[in-house]
Amino acid sequence: MSISIVIFSFSSNLYLFQEIDLKNNTHFLNVSDHDDIFGEIHILRPSKSEFLRVGQNFTIKWDSKGSIEFVTIALYKDYQHIETITITTSNNGEYVWFIGNHEDADDYSIGIWDYMDFNNNDFSDSFTISMNLQKKFDNFFIMILIVGLIALTTLFISFTLIKLKKKR
């Protein structure tokens, strides 16, 4: 018969595990990683240098192990909190996120952590959020159209003025 004793150390990510075998009168003292008992989170998507578009849905994906029941997900830009995507969602490995209006930049990241333990977290590599390319094209096309109309109007007025001066 053996008895197991777990001694927690919350000041670090380690815990001590002592097993006593009463039959053979032996003792084992093990040190283990915090993640072995409390869980671990690892973000899979968005991945490094991925491009996300404003106005679209994106599925955030992660792996986890341990006793994590719910997670919190947040968006960061240049390591500064921008928004909490969801305060709590089931730890099922994915969350569909509608990407709202954010400035074009390539230094966004996602943070996911255990809802019950902020110290148990992971942050994605940097990725890009940008305005939809079609909208950029539409805006560029409208700008070219306006500049063209102004140029044609200016030419028309100039030719009209020149004709009026010649008639005098």
Instruction: Please state the domain count of the chain.
Output: 3
Same structural domain for residues 62 and 47?
yes
Range of the domain at 23: 2-36
Q: What's the whole-model pTM score?
A: 0.59
- pLDDT averaged per 10 residues, the chain (length 168): 45 44 50 56 92 94 92 94 95 96 93 90 93 62 78 81 75
Same structural domain for residues 144 and 123?
no
What is the Cα–Cα distance from 12 to 66, expressed in whole angstroms?
A: 18
Same structural domain for residues 22 and 54?
no
**Angle, alpha carbons 11-65-118 (nearest 5°):** 40
Determine contact, residues 54/28, Cβ cutoff 8 Å. Answer: no
Same structural domain for residues 159 and 100?
no
Same structural domain for residues 51 and 89?
yes
Same structural domain for residues 24 and 48?
no
